[in-house]
Amino acid sequence: MICVALPGLAISTDQGQLTGHGLEGYYRAGRRILSRCQVRVAGREPLAVQARMTSADRARFVGTLRVAPHGGPDPDIVVERTRSADGTELIMLHSAAVRPLRLPVEVALGTDLADLGAIASGTAGPELAATVHDSGLRWSCAAGASSVTADPPPADAIASAGLLRWDFEVPPGGTVRVELRVRLDGAGPVRAVGLAVTSPLATAQATGDDPRIRALLATSVADLQALLVRDPAHPADTHLAAGAPWRCGLAPADALAAARMTLPLGTRLAAGTLRTLARTQVTAPGPRCGMIPGPRRDAGAHLPPGCTGTEATLLFPVLLAEARRWGLSDHETEELLPAAERCLTWLRTTVGERPYLSDPQPGGPVRCETQAHAHRAALLGADLLDACGRPGGDRLREWAWKLRATFRRDFWIDDPGGGRPAAARTPDGRPLPHLCATAVHLLDTGLLGGGAHAPGLLDRVQTEQLARLLGSPVMDSGWGLRGLGAKEAGYNPFGHRSGAVRVHETAIAVAGLAAAGHEKEGAALLRGVLTAAEAFGHRLPEMYAGEQRGDGTAPLPHPAACRPAATAAAAGVLLLTTLVGVRPDAPAGTVTLRPLGGAPLGEICVTGLRVVGAPFSVRVSRLGLAVVEEAAEGLQLGV
């Protein structure tokens, strides 16, 4: 159970006690500032009876005790603990005894002040010695220091044992409370960006015939708010951390992808993300000039690691172009346009006279999804350049046209089943025939004017075949889309690039299938993810096992998945906005509605979206008819 309000984290098991084992503890900026917090009442630990997340940043644990002699089997003390990512823990003891009780309470505390990487690799050191400090305890080492203070102050603090003690007199039906505050020396209180009134994300809500949509959108928005991070050097700019607990920093490709999926919640996050990454862009002359740097990422058993910097560089102009369609101001667009132009120049320079973009450069394989990203960047980038009166659009369109012609020939593998797109072509030109979820990016062509999507790399017949493949049991696990087909060599249901369900790719598939008119397959994937989300308490993890769904089964968690994760939480927004099909064109003052056909979840109403910076609400009936219920003044409904 992970409470998140970055830069604060609190990681617990469902037993409530922090024992110091595994990842348990309070964290600040990746350092464990408290690893052990064990409560004993009258010398015994409470029996855990319930644990649940009450919000993205808070968990509640309830335990019971029997302390009165000859009281029968019923507990007479309820211990309630509320743990928050900001470093506070409220311990409440409620008495149901018929006579006054004297309750000795002790809290055992400890920490190693280890960083998360050392804990994950099993190299964290032993607990540090404590000293009595103020109304609590303090620990220090060369890396820093942390302390715990208590209110009310303890009657006794024993540094050698790491103990705080109280003796409470509790009247019949009475309640006592202890509040602990965990702090990293030199750091102020956690002020989560997403909890401030200046949060860049609108708090949209969904209602309808299927109650799961309300919980999924609410949890997704809350998780996104919890993962927001402010650029320390430019406090007005925010972006999303990749996920907790493993990736609490900036991952450029993930941050851009998540900001793009959350455009229905406003353009401020997109603008902050773009400005933050523009400051990292390589501007020095050379082959990397114009790139957004990013680390390598494992690509599974059949391909070498790919460069997330390539993906981020191609996503940058796409996000800017689509944010403009959702209502990003002309001033902000012009401010960010030079960085987008450098990305597009890098694309054309790197490709040169070749039809394809290899990754990593130079000499890497020609990946299917990289060509999809490059094609979309060229078309949306050309549209953006034209709209802003900049040159270069025609050259990008000409290259995209040539790419379509060669891709349909070189990347399509004919077989008795109707054919499939190749996962990649090796540097010597051999196609890799493995059926991978990365092919869904071929369906994600991007938003142009008038609510239209850009053309794709596949023709109509090839798109139909890809839709059939994605909807088949080989790819659709019943919980979402497998990363690698179940019949492919190297398939592993837990393989994070070779079989596990990645929520981001499943959401892209649903949106792409809906846009291409293959709504049956898209609706089946959508229902599968909704069912999985319910099993995960509506907080979708980054990925989970691709085991086949069956009666009475539940999706298996992946032990290395971030939860919450920015792309998974943003995918929840994309899935529900795909249902209502909002396609804005702010420069033209129009919005087009293309709801998912057949109303697969019955009636749905989504309120609190943002189009042209104003609230936007839409209702889709059980017949699949969409009605705008709230919109900016002057916004016209497109055809």
Is there a cis peptide before residue 564, judged by omega within 30 degrees of 0?
yes
Query: Would you state the pLDDT for residue 198?
Result: 76
| Amino acid, res. 275 | R
| CA 564 to chain centroid | 6
Residue 473: name the closest of 513, 528, 511, 431 by CA: 528
Q: Which residues of the chain have pLDDT under 70?
A: 70-71, 190-192, 194-197
Residue that has been written with the tokens 């599974």 in this structure: 300
Is there a cis peptide before residue 362, judged by omega within 30 degrees of 0?
yes
The phi and psi torsions of 307 (rounded to 5 degrees) equal -100, 115
pTM of the predicted protein model: 0.94
Is there a cis peptide before residue 69, judged by omega within 30 degrees of 0?
no
Per the structure block, which two tokens stand in for 135?
Answer: 């109304």
Query: Would you state the pLDDT for residue 122?
Result: 86
Q: Convert 465-491 to b/e letters by CB count within 10 Å (16 or more is b).
A: bbbebbbeebbbbbbbbbbbbbebeeb
CB atoms closer than 10 angstroms to residue 152? 12
Written as one string, the DSSP assignment of 223-250 is HHHHTEEEETTEEEEEEE-SBTTTB-S-
Tell me the three state secondary structure of residue 265: helix
Residue 173: its H or E element: none
Looking at the DSSP assignment, which residues form a beta bridge with residue 47? 64
Query: Would you state the pLDDT for residue 525?
Result: 97
Residue 375: its H or E element: helix 368-387
Q: Where are the alpha helices (DSSP H) in 71-132?
A: 116-120
Distance CA 2, CA 300 (A): 28
Sequence-distant (≥ 6) Cβ neighbours of residue 269 within 8 angstroms: 200, 201, 228, 238, 239, 240, 259, 262
Distance CA 401, CA 127 (A): 62
Residue 307: name the closest of 291, 294, 289, 292 by CA: 294
Distance CA 357, CA 511 (A): 25
Residue that has been written with the tokens 């033209």 in this structure: 588
- CA quadruple 392, 393, 397, 398: dihedral, nearest 10: -40
The phi and psi torsions of 107 (rounded to 5 degrees) equal -125, 120
| Amino acid, res. 278 | A
Residue 550: its H or E element: none
**Helix axes of 460-471 and 519-535: crossing angle, nearest 10 degrees:** 30
Sequence-distant (≥ 6) Cβ neighbours of residue 32 within 8 angstroms: 25, 26, 111, 112, 113, 114, 115, 116, 119, 124
CB atoms closer than 10 angstroms to residue 233? 8
Residue that has been written with the tokens 């055809």 in this structure: 639
Per the structure block, which two tokens stand in for 379?
Answer: 């078309």
Residue 291: its H or E element: none
Residue 87: name the closest of 162, 15, 182 by CA: 182
Query: Would you state the pLDDT for residue 195?
Result: 62
Per the structure block, which two tokens stand in for 552?
Answer: 């009475």
Per the structure block, which two tokens stand in for 158?
Answer: 């024993």
C-alpha distance from residue 379 to each of 277, 291, 321, 449, 593 (Å): 21, 18, 10, 12, 22
| CA 159 to chain centroid | 40
Segment 569-578, tens digit of pLDDT: 999 999 999 9
Task: List the strands of the sheet with 366-367, edge to edge.
Answer: 366-367, 424-425, 431-432
C-alpha distance from residue 217 to each of 220, 243, 512, 526, 617 (Å): 5, 18, 20, 14, 14
Q: Convert 547-557 to b/e letters by CB count within 10 Å (16 or more is b).
A: bebeeeeebbe
